[in-house]
Amino acid sequence: MKKIFAIALVAAMAMNMMSCNEKSNAAMGPMTDSVSIGFAEMLGKAFNAQSRMDSTLDKDAFIKGMKAALNADTAQSYMAGMQMGLQLVGQIQQWQKDGIGFDANTFMTRFVK
């Protein structure tokens, strides 16, 4: 599961770097298509390899998560919050496996103070 989070994090960072470029994708032409296709194939192969090792991975849910990331607000602060939140989710899952409780509402109430 950590590998999937790492892949998603890399995709989010790549999306963030691409969003810094002021040119639109339509104006970039064939190079944009080549990069998009190549990156899609690379991440697709990584997902397929991971899903062969972990039969619990749901491809539809994974695609839903990728779409959410690609359509997310790309403001730097928002992206930093998403990255930190994804890291925290991974930590929470480990704590839950270890029998340690975590209340996200309590966390957010204290965090925003």
Crossing angle for the helix pair 30-53 and 59-70, nearest 10 degrees? 140
Domain span at residue 35 reads 2-111
Res 26: pLDDT: 53
Res 58: pLDDT: 92
Count the domains in the chain. 1
10-residue averages of pLDDT along the chain (113 residues): 56 52 55 85 92 91 91 92 94 95 94 92
User: What pLDDT, on the 0 to 100 scale, is given for residue 8?
Assistant: 57
This prediction's pTM: 0.57
DSSP states of 18-67 as a string?
HHTS-S-HHHHTHHHHHHHHHHHHHHHHHHHHHHHH-TT--HHHHHHHHH
In this prediction, residue 21 carries a pLDDT of 47
Contacts of residue 54, defined as CB under 8 A and 6 or more positions apart, other chains included, come to 1
